[in-house]
Copies of this chain bind each other. A is one copy, B any other.
């Protein structure tokens, strides 16, 4: 006999590259984002929440990644009939919607417009281990001002964000670079063609992967990669390559010179926050002050950013764009200095190359400097958790007018992972107190108990499964990570008492207590019913 054909059951699975977040994964992220939002708010940034869905036209289909200009968004066409209606897509970041919002509402919004936004974004990319197609971003941007004060403010805010979520000073660094300086260095050495400049950018972006020697080869004639394939080089001369590497290493070199007393400043180059009382025309006096400061450690620290900029000024020579870049960095350094953000928190560092291709001016990155062990047990630094910079062309797509803007994006998942590495976030939540059910007909009594506990602010619940097997109730409490179970059978009810099992202590005892300890600190106590709230409060506070 033929069996009846049935519709097969649907598979209970997330689509590839998507995942579910449970319990503390959700609440810890929410708490972190709410702390960051407080900082953004204090800096005068306003919240903005745009929809997940935009028209493909408004979004622009292109991710801000030049290697994969067509890499995907999730898109579909509107309308009942095929081939009609707008194409819609899920946003791939929070910057493209900001550009649309600013263009759409510019007459109602204040200018400059400072806004923050937090929420999921979607990428239609091949998922991989730990790489998901939906993830959170947390951005702050200032639209409508070219002032470096906006860039400096965002760097300061980023430092504040690190501290407010639990990364102490010393465990993070905000590092600042400027696209214009590299362009200036290249101009100064005669590499003026845009395509070749872009090649240089792409190559130094591989520094972390191939190291200095690899970058040297790739900037020159080329190199054999691990697979045996030959990668063509950019074709710079040895002298040019050395200059590019000097740019990348400008900070290290400047610090070294400061330390061994060989640093000498570029004539006429000022740093207002340090030399408030010096006439820049009077180089003699100025050089004297520098030599004086170099004698103390504190002085050398205060000079550090200045020394880096002085080095960069030497490298860009007469290039106007380069000098503009150095001046922008000097302004940022000065503004941050005035707000007491020293180089222990924010420093100018030309070795930051990530994002140089995308941004048009200053670029910055928040890096966590503490060491963690990687999967193979090797020590490494945690690395970057946020990045941003200045971009000036996004709104022009809509209005034709170029609007200057600068912003930062915090990598929510990486920052959360970092906080867990440092044990600054719990990981496992404390479960509810579980009131067990000894007598199904007295559910109302048990509900009254949890109501009392909740009214005292204690997380509590009644066991709602089948109460027949008491062992299952305790197994459930265990799975819920409950700190305590409450038991009231008919006998206890008659005597006006309840039993309270301390499950945390119980676990500890089960693991490693001696018999003596077991006797001394019983993990179960009989208490008067009226003392329930007081007793549980003490138990949760560790006072029993």
Interchain nearest-CB distance for A314 vs B (Å)? 25
How far apart sit A6 and B335, CA to CA, in the bound complex (Å)? 42
Instruction: Decide yes or no: A400 and B9 within 8 Å by CB, A20-B101, A34-B30, A44-B461 being known contacts.
Output: yes
Residues of B within 8 A of A443 (CB): 147, 149, 331, 335
Interchain nearest-CB distance for A68 vs B (Å)? 14
Residue A523 at the chain B interface, CB threshold 8 Å: no
A444 and B51: CB pair below 8 A?
Answer: no
Residue A207 at the chain B interface, CB threshold 8 Å: no
B74 and A75: CB pair below 8 A?
Answer: no
Residues of B within 8 A of A15 (CB): 51, 53-55, 78, 86, 88
Instruction: Decide yes or no: A153 and B398 within 8 Å by CB, A10-B60, A20-B105, A74-B88 being known contacts.
Output: no
Residues of B within 8 A of A451 (CB): 156, 338-340
Residues of B within 8 A of A402 (CB): none
Interchain nearest-CB distance for A383 vs B (Å)? 26
B9 and A399: CB pair below 8 A?
Answer: yes
B44 and A460: CB pair below 8 A?
Answer: yes
Residue A46 at the chain B interface, CB threshold 8 Å: yes
Interchain nearest-CB distance for A132 vs B (Å)? 8
Residue A120 at the chain B interface, CB threshold 8 Å: yes
Residue A2 at the chain B interface, CB threshold 8 Å: no
A444 and B46: CB pair below 8 A?
Answer: no
Residues of B within 8 A of A78 (CB): 15
Closest residue of B by beta carbon distance from A78: B15
Residues of B within 8 A of A272 (CB): 444
Q: Binding site of A, secondary structure by majority: helix, strand, loop or mixed?
A: mixed
A14 and B447: CB pair below 8 A?
Answer: no
Residue A470 at the chain B interface, CB threshold 8 Å: no
How far apart sit A457 and B150, CA to CA, in the bound complex (Å)? 20
B152 and A18: CB pair below 8 A?
Answer: no
Instruction: Decide yes or no: A22 and B9 within 8 Å by CB, A53-B15, A447-B152 being known contacts.
Output: no
Residue A530 at the chain B interface, CB threshold 8 Å: no
Q: Mark A3-41, 1 if CB is under 8 A from B, else 0.
A: 000000111111100111111111100100010010001
Residues of B within 8 A of A301 (CB): none
Q: List 23 A-B contacts (CB under 8 A).
A: A10-B58, A12-B399, A13-B58, A13-B104, A14-B51, A14-B104, A22-B48, A24-B47, A27-B37, A42-B454, A42-B457, A43-B460, A52-B122, A52-B134, A53-B133, A110-B480, A144-B465, A147-B443, A149-B462, A153-B461, A153-B464, A338-B451, A339-B448
